[in-house]
Amino acid sequence: MTIERQARNDGKKFVLPPKDNGNGAKIRVLIAECAGPSEKGYTLEEAAECMQLIDKVIWNRLRNPALYKAKGAKTVADIIKAPGQIKGFEEYPEYKAAKIKNIQDKLNIANDAKNKKNADFAAFISTAFDVLNGPPIPDPSPGTLAGWKTEGHAPPGPNFKLYKTIMGNSFYYVPKSFVKPKPEPKLSWETSPNRI
């Protein structure tokens, strides 16, 4: 996968969606949790992959929230702010000062045409919007991609297996045997598509 982005040249600035909805919550997680252009070893292609993997973890957790201690979660924002899900976002839409600064610093450079790193940060933020607005990727892991931790930290739990480490984040999956697929709803007279 080749990722190429250019700095915005239409005179408009990047504006994040309101933080009180799912899109606003998710894009803030993507920007905060993925290393930006100032980090050692940064490449846009790997940043894009990191964002896609985070996006996939969030969707997988939403499909089976109780399995990941987020029982009752019905939206992306519910997953993000559930206890023990994403450090620093537990009180979302309020979140930790370090996360706010991380996001704001990246956004400020992306919107400052005079900054020498403007093009790189604009491409980074643009990629976050692409991931936000695009469909989730197919699960690339041997099981169900289910979590990530900062590289060097312990896995999220005993059933989590390392999938890969990229841009300072280690991504984990759980074996398919651990995630019991939800049964299809049984058709009855009330729900049958052939009801007359």
Q: For 94-128, what is each residue's pLDDT tens digit?
A: 889 999 999 999 999 999 999 999 999 999 999 99
Query: Does the residue 69 lie in any domain?
Result: yes
Say if residue 184's pLDDT is above 90. Answer: no
Query: Does the residue 4 lie in any domain?
Result: no
Report the C-alpha gap between 190 and 44 in whole angstroms. 51
State pLDDT tens for residues 11-53. Answer: 679 999 998 888 999 999 999 999 999 999 999 999 999 999 9
Enumerate residues 6+ apart whose C-beta is below 8 A from 87. none
Cβ contact 14:111 at 8 Å: yes
Tell me what pLDDT residue 36 has: 97
Nearest to 89 by CA among 145, 35, 39, 33: 33
Please report which confidence band the pLDDT of residue 182 belongs to, taking 50, 70 and 90 as the band edges.
Answer: low
The residue that leads in pLDDT, 171 or 91, is: 171
Where is average pLDDT lowest: 89-93, 144-148, 172-176?
A: 89-93
Cβ contact 140:166 at 8 Å: no
Tell me what pLDDT residue 112 has: 96
Q: Please state the rounded mean pLDDT for residues 118-141.
A: 96
Could you tell me the residue range of the domain that residue 108 belongs to?
22-142
Task: Tell me how far CA of residue 14 lies from CA of 17, 30, 110, in angstroms.
Answer: 10, 15, 7
Q: Please state the rounded mean pLDDT for residues 77-85.
A: 90
Cβ contact 13:111 at 8 Å: yes
Where is average pLDDT lowest: 50-54, 73-77, 171-175?
A: 73-77
Query: Does the residue 80 lie in any domain?
Result: yes
Tell me what pLDDT residue 11 has: 60
Q: Please state the rounded mean pLDDT for residues 70-77.
A: 90
Report the C-alpha gap between 84 and 80 in whole angstroms. 9
Query: By three-state DSSP, how is residue 10 classified?
Result: coil
Query: Does the residue 5 lie in any domain?
Result: no
Cβ contact 46:52 at 8 Å: no
- Total domains in the chain come to 1
The residue that leads in pLDDT, 6 or 157, is: 157
Tell me what pLDDT residue 85 has: 87
At 186, the amino acid letter reads K
Pairing assessment for the beta strands 144-150 and 169-174 based on DSSP bridges: antiparallel
Enumerate residues 6+ apart whose C-beta is below 8 A from 36. 42, 47, 106, 121, 124
Say if residue 1's pLDDT is above 70. Answer: no
Q: Which DSSP letter does residue 65 get?
A: G
Tell me what pLDDT residue 110 has: 97
Tell me what pLDDT residue 177 has: 82
CA dihedral in degrees (188, 193, 195, 196; nearest 10)? Answer: 180
The reported pTM is: 0.85
Query: Does the residue 187 lie in any domain?
Result: no
Q: Please state the rounded mean pLDDT for residues 53-66.
A: 94
Cα angle vertex 31, ends 43, 51, to 5°?
Answer: 60
